[in-house]
A and B are shown apart, each in its own frame.
Chain A
Amino acid sequence: MSLDNHERVMSLFRALQRVNDLRIRNLHPAYASILIDFDPLRLSHEEATSLIENLAGEEPSQCGRAANTVTIPVCYDVEFAPDLQEVANHAKIPAREVIWLHSSATYHVHFLGFTPGFAYLGGLPETLHAPRLATPRKHVPAGSVAIAGTQAGIYPVDSPGGWRLIGRTPVRIFDPDATQPTLLKPGDLVEFREIDRATFDATVNR
């Protein structure tokens, strides 16, 4: 996957969002592709193709390209981080350094999938690359901060999951009643900021 390809995908995605053609029902950008779901009784393949070709031919517009940076507080308390020590062992570094590496990188939302609001984040420092769990957990609590392979993520809702859990955020990642239901959108930049347990509890109880 090249970042350049992904940037072209995102540029087309944003252009299609701006066009807001009601005959297009869903858009799903990913690493190097975009899925366009349209009503074939109202928009023909030929019309759709020419619309897409026109938009894809445009120079990536500068407006809307300024990425939105979201800072997410994370508590790395042992209770929230059942896999932190194993990640540290795998990387042959102290757990403290795993936390430092994880919270000092800048991540890029490649796309969302798996469950509502689950953002696949690129940019995990290479030292932290570790395989996913051999057996996924049946229950991962919402807010769990996790890593797997080359990627990082945050579980937005209670769900099963096979990624390694290294912390938890008190911030709501998915709120179906909000105008913008997901905290993260495709193309956003993400940073993690370490918080202590007292801050976590205070935020949750607020």
Chain B
Amino acid sequence: MAIRVQDPGLLTTVQDLGRYGYSHLGISPGGAADSLAMRIANLLVGNPENAATLEMTLAGATLEFDEESIVALSGGECHCRINGDTAPLWQAMRVPARGILTCGAMKTGARLYLGIQGGLDVQPIMGSASTNMAGHFGGFEGRGLRKGDLLGVRKGPNSRLPTLNPGTVEALYSREPLRVTRGAQHDWFGLEAFGKLLSCPYTVSEQSNRSGLRLKGEPISPRVRSQLLTEGVSHGAIQVPQDEQPIILFVDQQTTGGYPKIANVIAADLYRVGQLRPREQVRFIEVAIPQAIDLLREQEEWLKQIFQC
């Protein structure tokens, strides 16, 4: 079973939940930018949640399936068609043999996932199928898909497929501020600068990608101007370089950085960062670390309850 790429869209890559245990070798985890949407797409087609999926960016791909396949789309709002008929997101669908799936431009959100029953047949490298574009490895030949690429699909289980409870998607993509905890160098900034981050809206710059989201807005001035010794940085850290405009470090980030970090987007909200579009506004609100952990635990519990059989 295979999928032929007729049009790759803006940037389409193979992603699973990422590659852990190699950051000391300069290899960032990568993985789906909106890991919740990606996991749901897999669960809808009866896959384990870490099966290899396709992640599309802002403008979707056009794909041809050689055999009948069960697929599910999830993520940003987007008009998709199978052989010309509207194909709704967030549910399992059958694509007939030689069927063509066309994914349009996203109206909201920035990333669309295609889960395919069985998962994409990609050789895991260092334990993951995710594409590492900086290292040119993983996924499909270590790069974004191109017209004419042929992706293998694994044979899937013929299990009963679940559906999503009504209201799930609305609950998933709230417009609430992103929740942050204090960053490693939070005290370099002082209350005024931290207050600014929490009270002013920031706009996602066009120069944003999977490595980082550059934000534009009120400058955040450090109280002390000292040079930070380069250190390891984590996914979701908000660093403030010399131009005083914050950057959210994201899935394909470099593993080290030399700029002070004022805050950290909490783990439970990182999937929403993956759906931020250029020119979209974001706001931040502070939570304490124990609360951030509770929120993550609640999210994992919630994920188990959104399906019905």
Contact = CB atoms under 8 A, between A and B. Distances in A.
Contact of A26 (B21, B134, B135, B296): B21
Given A1-B229, A26-B29, A29-B232, A111 B125 contact: no
Contacts of B136: 157-158
Contacts of A28: 23-24, 231-232, 255-256
B267 A113 contact: no
A37 B132 CA distance: 20
Nearest to B267: A40
A2 B295 CA distance: 39
Contacts of A157: 134-136
Contacts of A156: 26, 135
Contacts of A40: 267, 293, 296
Interface in B211-262: 229-234, 254-256
Interface stretch (A69-77, A85-93, A114-122, A123-131): A114-122
Contacts of B254: 113-115
Contacts of A80: none
Contacts of B137: 116, 176-177
A33 B229 contact: yes
Interface in A99-119: 111-119
Nearest to A20: B21
A31 B135 contact: no
B151 to A, nearest CB: 19
A182 interface: yes
Given A26-B21, A157-B134, A181 B255 contact: no
B297 interface: yes
Interface string A33-49: 11101001100010000
A174 interface: yes
B173 interface: no
B296 A41 contact: yes
A178 B99 CA distance: 38
Contacts of A1: 229
A15 interface: no
B25 A41 contact: no
A35 B234 contact: yes
A116 B27 contact: yes
A105 to B, nearest CB: 21
A37 B135 contact: no
Nearest to A112: B26
B229 A27 contact: no
Contacts of B296: 40-41
B126 interface: yes
A197 interface: no
B230 A31 contact: yes
Nearest to A6: B229
Interface string A184-206: 01100000000000000000000
B300 interface: yes
Interface in B251-309: 254-256, 267, 289, 293, 296-297, 300
Contacts of A118: 26
Interface string B1-27: 000000000000000000011111111
A177 B137 CA distance: 9
B138 interface: yes
A182 B232 contact: no
A68 interface: no
Nearest to A110: B230
B126 to A, nearest CB: 7
A34 B135 CA distance: 23
Contacts of B256: 28, 30, 111, 113-114
A139 interface: no
A125 B5 CA distance: 52
Contact of B135 (A30, A32, A41, A174): A174
Interface of B: 20-27, 29, 125-126, 132, 134-138, 142, 229-234, 254-256, 267, 289, 293, 296-297, 300
Given A26-B20, A30-B230, A30-B231, 6 more contacts: A28-B256, A35-B231, A40-B296, A41-B297, A116-B22, A157-B135
9 contacts: A26-B20, A30-B229, A37-B234, A40-B296, A41-B293, A112-B25, A116-B25, A116-B27, A185-B25
